[in-house]
Amino acid sequence: MIKVDSEKRIHISRGDAATLNITANGGEYEFQVGDVIKLRIYEKKKYDEPIVEITKTVETAATSVDLNITKEDTTIGEDINKPVTYWYEISLNETTTIIGYDEDGA
C-alpha cells in the first residue's frame, strides 16, 4: 500500500514495494537523458545521514520519472505495530531539491 497525500507525505507499509511518479516545477520541467534523481530517507530530525538512498538515472527525456521503491528499501527499523515518521528529500542532479525541508518543515 502506498498513498501520497496533499502535503506530499508518503504513507507506505513496511516491506511493501511501490513506484513514485516524480515531476518537477509543477510538471513543466522536462527531465533529460542522464539526469539523476535521488530519493533519500532520514530518521526524523536526523538530517545528517540517510538510512535509505534510491537513485534513478533518466534514460528517456520526459516530464515525469518513475522511481521504484523495493521491499528492501522499506524494510527499515524494527518490527512495529504503529506508524513511524521518517523525513525524505528528492533531488535532481545533486544540485536542485525537488521535495525537501523548507520554512514549513519537513
The CB density around residue 59, as the number of other CB atoms within 10 Å, is 11
The 10 Å Cβ neighbour count of residue 48 is: 7
Task: Give the integer Cα–Cα distance in Å for 40 and 63.
Answer: 21
In this prediction the pTM is 0.86
Q: What percent of the chain has pLDDT over 70?
A: 94
Q: What is the pLDDT of residue 53?
A: 96
pLDDT at 31 over 90: yes
pLDDT confidence of residue 34: 98
The chain-wide mean pLDDT, for the chain, equals 90
Is pLDDT above 60 for 103? no
